């Protein structure tokens, strides 16, 4: 900390310049008080060869006593002062209260002002603690207002800049300003910090046609107790405000967004460099400016009134490009250079890398975003089980809770819980179209950071955690899901680290903490249960594996996982009540299961090498291998829902192995060479995450079915009044499928294939009837296949690829080929029977288990599977529903048990979330 | 050690997953069953003053929906009764060029169109689902001859077809017959005697590039009479019973194969069978094989044509004021439907049963009317038996045999014109 003393440059002869031409202009010195230590500055001003007329301290009430004590007057603001000054005062010398001007400083200032007809003249500012070092000799700026002094850090003053010249701005540490100009400008902006205040005043002065110059012979020592910090958030905010005041709109239109972008980049890079405050400062500055926008606009109007020149006059004193980006480049380059110079060895780089977790997180998020960019910026995919979330979330939620499931030919069986879960998300977001994107992004990011957090438990730190998280959510496990376009897999990978973490963390000591933990268990296990009914068993299996590897205590963790499983079961209650054991296990889904074996071989190899290398990573590596192996076995051989859960477990294994291989580091003990090799192999696993980058849709197909079925939506006069028959190879069809005579098929109710229809409910009479109709169609090469399909309300048949179905309907009378979609063959059924039609041929609207239309004294046939719960006066019409049409309405009454269980499940989930948040907060 | 044990278990599980047989997709190896269509499609053009009668033979009594397709489009279907014996008959409302679709006949069924009137008598069998390539052979377009091609597309999809012909001049490719679009539920006619004039022997191939069509040619030679030659799928074996009294006979063999197809003709006559009477003759898209009465031995009663690749045979009988023709039977069988046989009042109808085996065969012929008497006949080995029909008009006949036979029938009116049609074996 420098102390104020008589300003004297060490080793330099006493320097008192004589003015070439004596001036007689009256000057008032305005000492800007930042604290109460004004005396040295006051004395230095009083000691000026060129005597001032008055000395006024500018400051708040806190300096009143000091001013009185020093025998000088005080004024609250510079603006206020200039309003009160006598007309014969020509200049106001603004001096910071921590500045120590040399005795001849004012002489030099007044002389140069007079000689150059300058309205603002600044001083050369030297560091009071080390007067050899230059702080400022006037500055240029870039167009964004960032100061560019041209000085190197700690640059010694050799009088190399001692040239009187025009500059973009001068520091407010010492500046002589013409009184009339200062009065017109309203003084300096009291909201601005020192540097920004100088910039602001200089720019406004220049805009008013005044010259802004620096007089290097007017030397001032600066103690820097004024809070003078170019990089502070307040200076950033002030710079933005100063910019906003002076530029014309045409300049602001591009300057503001570019400035924001630069600030963001600068902040993010500094975040990566371990300086998060820069980003925080930038964001704070933006917020500050938003808050003070009205005041900025009003001062801008005032400045405009004085404008005498255009923005070009400001540009003349600006450097090209961005000072901040230049500095950023220099800083990054410097760091790299130091890293190379200082270390040069792998261990050094690794050591540096270990401190780069934010960089790794950023890269991981970037890779995830890049690999799935098509999901954010293009049409969302529509293939396999990656399908749009319904437009009618309430119906789907109802269908989960005892209502009517529209999938297939209709069923009272609950829709798959993941469909209800995503429908609820869309409902909560007021039907927002981007819900699918949001849920996907949320799951990806949650998985990435969830795994990173989970792995910290095993002393794996630094970027390894994020590399492992990336490999878990976008590596071999996800690629297996993506190969089947099984989108719910990403939800499983997103939820499982949190479920495991909730199980593995010690049981809280407080009741509130315990409640919060229970809430966390309910939410995480509930989400896993939504993805697959056996999902809650994954953490149980994970715990067993971790226990086996000695990474978790057996008792408490298992107990917590059992509690979580029970809670997950409660969330899933409605589905469990309506589904058979077989449905719970296979979901009615069948897939080719083959994984990309070499990726898994790499995972197992990395685990083996890590164990060979010894150190702290060997146990997680072993546990990871077991999780991966067990997961693979389940994924390949178990029924589908179990396979999904198993692959999620395998994803945990990938995370453990990769983190262990990377995470031990060269200083982690054991055989260093083996660990380096393990890291190399693990890198291959991590690099698999890049395989989605070329396609850009996270490995999932594109918008196949949205595009293919677009015609149906366009031509559907009454939504939901008919169905579409999809025919092709199993892998070509969206969602689940049924096996037909030589082809796979499924139906779509309405005109859009949505996620809730992806899972076909268990077979009922109508489904058997449709199967029989298709067999008859194929066996007899029927002349009227449309008549066979018509009773199922199948208005369209869409055939993908070469199918025996297409051959069978090549020569027939009532399936008219229509060129309505590219890449598929579309047939319009001329013999279609509307989904809900009365005896008299009146078509009713139908959807969500409700059919409505004109009442008639007769019956209405609804081409949905006959099932209990339909009213009124329901009879069987073969496999379909025949209801009384006299009321103009026929509906399925939701099963009360299913409804109650559904509501209970939702309640547990919502309460769990609330309690989890409440429980985590500090009381 | 624990960590290695845990790792080893993991690897063992992964290896087990790798080694396990993959889970198959349910039904992904299913083979679509095939079956016979339960409908018949015909195409025919009749003289304006002719009566066009649709005759049915079916194993499914009841009502058969019938749809008539004209150049203007499809009419509303009407129903034709099929009696308990499986026969049905009805006169179509118009004799203009038409396609006819008869549905719900059952798989053991047959249908034919029989036209009768002042201009003569003709019969045309109605195939089931038309093949991608169908052909007919034996007509001529010499001066005074008339040949009108009818392409009927009863289906929901527009058909695109290319018509090619082969004559003694070689392969004819006529621009006007290339890539013809036959609209869905409609028909097209082309006058072959104009676009392919002055051919002594002509075979026509209709290839569907998209959709399917039924095709036939109404053939009226200069000498009088009328015949309706239906286009049929190509086969490698044909059986052609030959009526005794026909003087002017031509058997034409054609193919759509651009490469040479070897043809062998076995002749059946009073002396038994002469195998490979014609052997080593080749046909292709530019070459026909034509056998006239003069080329065949005296007393021939039937021929068998065997080819190395699918061919079509056409048999045409021409005489003073008479013409008849058809394509022969595509195989042997023990149960035959002969729709139209005996349906023309006043016509002399004979059923020709060919027994190619040395052993005698007993056949039973029964009219397709309720209460009809079943009459047994013996057909000696390697011979053809002509069974004249008596009694009033009936929709057709059902012939059953205790051995494999090939069957055709002829009808002749007093004015001299004849009709010829092969039977339809139960298999198709």
Select the highest-mean-pLDDT range: A710-719, A827-836, B56-65.
A827-836
B209 contact A CB<8A: no
pLDDT category at A844 given cuts 50, 70, 90 is: very high
Residue in chain A closest to B69 (alpha carbons) equals: A813
Q: Are A582 and A614 in contact (CB under 8 A)?
A: no
pLDDT digit string, tens, across residues A250-269: 888 888 888 888 888 888 77
Nearest residue, CB atoms, B7 vs list A594, A625, A779: A625
Statement: residue B393 has pLDDT above 50? yes
Rounded distance between C-alpha atoms, residue A699 and residue A691, angstroms: 8
Kindly list the residues from chain A whose CB atom is less than 8 angstroms away from the CB atom of residue B186. none
Q: Mean pLDDT check: name the lowest of A86-100, A866-880, A885-899.
A: A86-100
A355 φ, ψ (degrees, to nearest 5) = -95, 15
Mean of per-residue pLDDT scores for chain A: 85
Statement: residue A154 has pLDDT above 80? no
Q: Mutating which of B2, B4, B17 best tests the A interface, going by the most A Cβ atoms within 10 A?
A: B17
Helix (H) or strand (E) holding A99: strand A99-101
Q: Which residue has the higher pLDDT, B247 or B426?
A: B426
Binary contact (A629, B34; C-beta < 8 A):
no
Beta bridge partners of A891: A850, A871
B221 contact A CB<8A: no
Statement: residue B275 has pLDDT above 80? yes
Q: What is the pLDDT of residue A22?
A: 54
Binary contact (A622, B26; C-beta < 8 A):
no
Is cis: bond before A872, omega within 30 of 0?
yes
Statement: residue A898 has pLDDT above 90? yes
Q: What is the pLDDT of residue A618?
A: 86
Rounded distance between C-alpha atoms, residue B359 and residue A867, angstroms: 63
Nearest to A400 by CA among A873, A769, A791, A909: A909
Distance from CA of A623 to the nearest CA of B (A): 7
Distance from CA of B31 to the nearest CA of A (A): 5
Nearest to A747 by CA among A808, A805, A793: A793
Rounded distance between C-alpha atoms, residue B302 and residue A288, angstroms: 107
Q: Are A141 and A323 in contact (CB under 8 A)?
A: yes
Q: What is the DSSP string of B68-82?
A: EEETTEEPPPEEEEE
Q: Are B389 and B92 in contact (CB under 8 A)?
A: no
pLDDT digit string, tens, across residues A431-464: 888 888 889 999 999 999 999 888 888 877 778 8
Q: Are B422 and B324 in contact (CB under 8 A)?
A: no
Binary contact (B28, A622; C-beta < 8 A):
no
Q: What is the pLDDT of residue A230?
A: 62
Q: Is the dihedral of CA A673, A675, A678, A683 positive or negative?
A: negative
ipTM over 0.85: no
H helix intervals, A716-810? 765-780, 785-789, 804-808
The stretch A640-651 carries a mean pLDDT of 94
Beta strand B133-139 with B232-233 is antiparallel
Distance from CA of A742 to the nearest CA of B (A): 4
Kindly list the residues from chain B whose CB atom is less than 8 angstroms away from the CB atom of residue A653. 10
The stretch B270-278 carries a mean pLDDT of 87
Q: What is the pLDDT of residue A551?
A: 87
Judged by DSSP in three states, A846 sits in: strand
Extract the runs of DSSP E, i.e. beta strands, from A244-362. none
Beta bridge partners of A103: none
Q: What is the pLDDT of residue A333?
A: 66
Binary contact (B17, A740; C-beta < 8 A):
no
Q: Are A600 and A646 in contact (CB under 8 A)?
A: no
The stretch A549-568 carries a mean pLDDT of 89
Count, residues in chain A: 923
B12 contact A CB<8A: yes
Q: What is the pLDDT of residue A302?
A: 82
Residue A137's CB is within 10 A of a number of other CB atoms, namely 28
B38 contact A CB<8A: yes
Q: What is the pLDDT of residue A16?
A: 39
Percent of chain A with pLDDT strictly greater than 70: 92
Q: What is the pLDDT of residue A465?
A: 87
Q: Are B45 and B150 in contact (CB under 8 A)?
A: yes
CB-count exposure of residue A819 (10 Å: 0-12, 13-18, 19+): exposed
Percent of chain A with pLDDT strictly greater than 90: 38
The stretch B349-367 carries a mean pLDDT of 92
Q: Is the dihedral of CA B391, B394, B396, B400 positive or negative?
A: negative
Residue in chain A closest to B5 (alpha carbons) equals: A622
CB pairs under 8 A between A and B: 158
pLDDT digit string, tens, across residues A6-64: 333 333 333 334 445 556 788 888 888 877 678 888 888 888 888 888 888 888 888 88
Judged by DSSP in three states, A580 sits in: coil
Binary contact (A629, B17; C-beta < 8 A):
yes
Select the highest-mean-pLDDT range: A182-186, A851-855, B415-419.
A851-855
List, as ranges, residues 272-331 from B with C-beta within 8 Å of A: none
Q: At what angle do helices A640-663 and A435-456 cross, to 10 degrees?
A: 50
Binary contact (A625, B16; C-beta < 8 A):
no
Distance from CA of A541 to the nearest CA of B (A): 13
Q: What is the pLDDT of residue A658?
A: 93
Q: What is the pLDDT of residue B24?
A: 58
Q: What is the DSSP string of B279-334?
A: EEEEEBTTB-EEEEGGGS-TTEEEEEEEEEEEEEEEEEEEETTEEEEE--BSS-EE
């Amino acid at each position: 900390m420098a102390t104020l003393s008589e300003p004297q440059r060490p080793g330099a002869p006493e320097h008192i310049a004589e003015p070439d031409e004596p001036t007689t202009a009256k000057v008032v010195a305005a000492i800007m008080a930042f604290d109460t230590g004004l005396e040295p500055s006051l004395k230095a001003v009083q000691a000026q060869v060129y005597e001032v007329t008055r000395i006024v301290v500018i400051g708040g009430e806190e300096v009143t006593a000091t001013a009185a004590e020093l025998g000088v007057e005080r004024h609250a603001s510079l603006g206020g002062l200039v309003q009160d000054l006598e007309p014969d005062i020509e200049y106001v010398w603004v001096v910071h209260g921590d500045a120590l001007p040399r005795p001849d400083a004012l002489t030099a200032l007044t002389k140069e002002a007079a000689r150059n007809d300058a309205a603002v003249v600044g001083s050369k500012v030297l560091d009071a603690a080390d007067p050899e070092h230059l702080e400022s000799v006037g500055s240029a700026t870039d167009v964004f207002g960032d100061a560019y002094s041209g000085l190197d850090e700690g640059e010694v003053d050799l009088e190399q800049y001692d040239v009187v010249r025009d500059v973009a701005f001068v520091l407010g540490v010492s500046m002589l300003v013409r009184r009339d100009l200062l009065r017109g400008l309203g003084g300096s902006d009291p909201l601005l910090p020192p540097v920004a205040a100088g910039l602001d005043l200089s720019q406004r002065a220049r805009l008013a046609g005044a010259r802004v110059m620096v007089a290097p012979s007017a030397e001032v020592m600066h103690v820097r107790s004024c809070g003078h910090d170019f990089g502070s958030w307040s200076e950033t905010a002030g710079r933005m405000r100063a910019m906003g005041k002076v530029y014309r709109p045409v300049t602001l239109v591009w300057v503001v967004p570019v400035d924001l972008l630069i600030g963001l980049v600068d902040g993010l890079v500094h975040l990566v460099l371990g300086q998060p405050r820069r980003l925080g400062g930038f964001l704070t500055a933006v917020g500050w400016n938003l808050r003070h926008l009205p005041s900025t606009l009003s001062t801008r109007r005032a400045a405009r009134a004085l404008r005498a020149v255009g923005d070009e006059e400001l540009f003349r004193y600006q450097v090209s490009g961005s000072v901040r980006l230049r500095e950023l480049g220099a800083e990054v380059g410097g760091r790299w250079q130091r890293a190379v110079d200082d270390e040069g060895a792998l261990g050094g780089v690794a050591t540096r890398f270990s401190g780069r977790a934010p960089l790794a997180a950023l890269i991981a998020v970037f890779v995830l975003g890049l690999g799935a960019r098509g999901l954010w910026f293009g049409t969302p995919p529509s293939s396999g089980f990656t399908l749009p979330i319904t437009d009618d979330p309430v119906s789907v939620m109802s269908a989960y809770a005892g209502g009517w499931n529209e999938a297939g030919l209709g069923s009272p069986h609950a829709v798959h819980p993941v469909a209800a879960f995503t429908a609820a998300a869309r409902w909560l977001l007021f039907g927002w179209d981007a819900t699918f994107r949001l849920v996907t992004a949320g799951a990806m990011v949650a998985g990435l950071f969830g795994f990173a957090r989970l792995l910290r438990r095993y002393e794996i730190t630094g970027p390894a955690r994020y590399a492992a998280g990336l490999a878990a959510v976008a590596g071999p496990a996800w690629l297996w899901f993506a190969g089947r376009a099984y989108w719910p897999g990403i939800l499983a990978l997103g939820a499982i680290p949190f479920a495991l973490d909730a199980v593995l963390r010690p049981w809280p000591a407080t009741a509130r903490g315990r409640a919060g933990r229970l809430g966390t268990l309910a939410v995480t296990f509930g989400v896993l249960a939504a993805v697959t009914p056996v999902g809650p068993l994954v953490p149980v299996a994970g715990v067993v594996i971790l226990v086996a590897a000695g990474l978790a205590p057996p008792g408490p963790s298992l107990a917590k996982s059992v509690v979580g499983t029970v809670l997950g079961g409660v969330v899933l209650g409605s589905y469990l009540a309506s589904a058979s054991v077989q449905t719970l296990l296979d979901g009615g889904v069948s897939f080719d299961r083959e994984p990309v074996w070499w990726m898994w071989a790499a995972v197992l190899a990395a685990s083996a090498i890590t164990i060979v290398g010894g150190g702290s990573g060997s146990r997680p590596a072993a546990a990871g291998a077991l999780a991966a192996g067990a997961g693979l076995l389940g994924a390949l051989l178990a029924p589908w829902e179990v396979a999904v859960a198993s692959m999620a477990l395998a994803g945990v294994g990938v995370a453990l192995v990769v983190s262990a291989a990377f995470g031990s580091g060269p200083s982690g003990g054991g055989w260093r060479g083996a660990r380096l090799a393990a890291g190399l192999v693990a890198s291959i696993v991590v690099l698999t995450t890049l395989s989605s980058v070329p396609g850009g849709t996270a490995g999932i197909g594109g918008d196949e079915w949205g595009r293919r079925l677009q015609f149906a939506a366009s031509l559907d006069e009454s939504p939901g009044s008919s169905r579409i028959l999809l025919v092709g190879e199993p892998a070509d069809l969206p969602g689940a499928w049924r096996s037909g005579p030589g082809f796979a098929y499924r139906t779509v109710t309405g005109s859009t294939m949505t996620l809730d229809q992806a899972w076909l409910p268990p077979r009922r009479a109508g489904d058997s009837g449709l199967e029989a109709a298709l067999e008859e169609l194929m066996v007899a090469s029927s002349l009227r296949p449309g008549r066979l399909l018509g009773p199922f309300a199948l208005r369209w048949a869409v055939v993908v690829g070469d199918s025996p179905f297409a051959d069978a309907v090549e020569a027939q009378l009532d399936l008219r080929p229509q060129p309505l979609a590219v890449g598929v063959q579309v047939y319009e059924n001329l013999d279609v029977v509307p989904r809900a039609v009365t005896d008299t041929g009146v078509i009713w609207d139908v959807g969500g288990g409700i059919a409505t239309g004109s009442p008639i004294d007769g019956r209405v046939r609804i081409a949905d599977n006959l099932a209990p719960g339909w009213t009124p006066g329901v009879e069987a019409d073969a496999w379909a529903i025949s209801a009384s049409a006299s009321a103009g309405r026929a509906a399925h009454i939701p099963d009360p048990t299913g409804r109650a269980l559904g509501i209970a499940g939702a309640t547990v989930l919502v309460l769990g979330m609330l309690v989890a948040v409440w429980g985590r907060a500090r009381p | 050690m624990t960590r290695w044990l845990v790792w080893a278990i993991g690897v063992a599980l992964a290896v087990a997953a790798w080694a396990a047989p993959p889970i198959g997709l349910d039904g992904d190896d299913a083979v679509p069953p095939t079956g016979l269509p339960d409908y018949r499609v015909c195409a025919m053009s009749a003289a304006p003053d002719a009566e066009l009668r649709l005759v049915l033979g079916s194993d499914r009594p009841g009502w058969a929906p019938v749809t008539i397709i004209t150049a203007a489009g499809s009419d509303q279907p009407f129903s034709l009764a099929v009696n308990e014996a499986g026969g049905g008959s009805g006169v179509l409302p118009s004799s203009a060029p038409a396609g006819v679709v008869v549905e719900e006949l059952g798989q053991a069924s047959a249908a034919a169109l029989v036209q009768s009137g002042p201009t003569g008598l003709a019969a045309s069998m109605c195939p089931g689902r038309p093949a991608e390539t169908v052909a007919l052979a034996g007509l001529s377009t010499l001066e005074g001859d008339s040949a009108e091609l009818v392409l009927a597309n009863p289906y929901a999809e527009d058909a695109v077809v290319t018509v090619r012909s082969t004559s003694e001049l070689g392969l004819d490719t006529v621009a006007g017959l290339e890539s013809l679009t036959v609209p869905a539920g409609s028909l097209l006619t082309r006058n072959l005697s104009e676009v392919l004039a002055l051919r002594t022997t002509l075979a026509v191939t209709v290839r569907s590039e998209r959709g399917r069509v039924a095709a036939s040619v109404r053939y009226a030679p200069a000498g009088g009479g009328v015949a309706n030659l239906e286009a049929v799928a190509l086969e490698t074996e044909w059986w052609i019973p030959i009526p005794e009294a026909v003087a002017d006979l031509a058997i034409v063999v054609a193919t759509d194969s651009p490469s040479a197809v070897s043809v062998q003709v076995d002749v059946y006559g009073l002396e038994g069978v002469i195998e490979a009477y014609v052997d080593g003759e080749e046909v292709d898209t530019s070459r026909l094989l034509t056998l006239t009465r003069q080329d065949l031995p005296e007393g021939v009663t039937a021929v068998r044509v065997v080819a190395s690749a699918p061919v079509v045979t056409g048999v045409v009988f021409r005489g003073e004021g008479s013409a008849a023709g058809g394509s022969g039977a595509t195989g042997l069988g023990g149960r035959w439907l002969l729709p139209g046989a005996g349906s023309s009042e006043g016509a002399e109808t004979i059923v020709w049963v060919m027994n190619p085996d040395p052993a005698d065969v007993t056949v039973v012929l029964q009219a397709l009317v309720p209460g009809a008497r079943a009459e047994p006949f013996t057909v000696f080995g390697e011979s053809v038996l002509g069974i004249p029909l008596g009694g009033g008009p009936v929709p057709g006949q059902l012939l059953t045999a205790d051995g494999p036979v090939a069957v055709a029938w002829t009808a002749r009116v007093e004015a001299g014109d004849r009709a010829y049609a092969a039977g339809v074996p139960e298999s198709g």
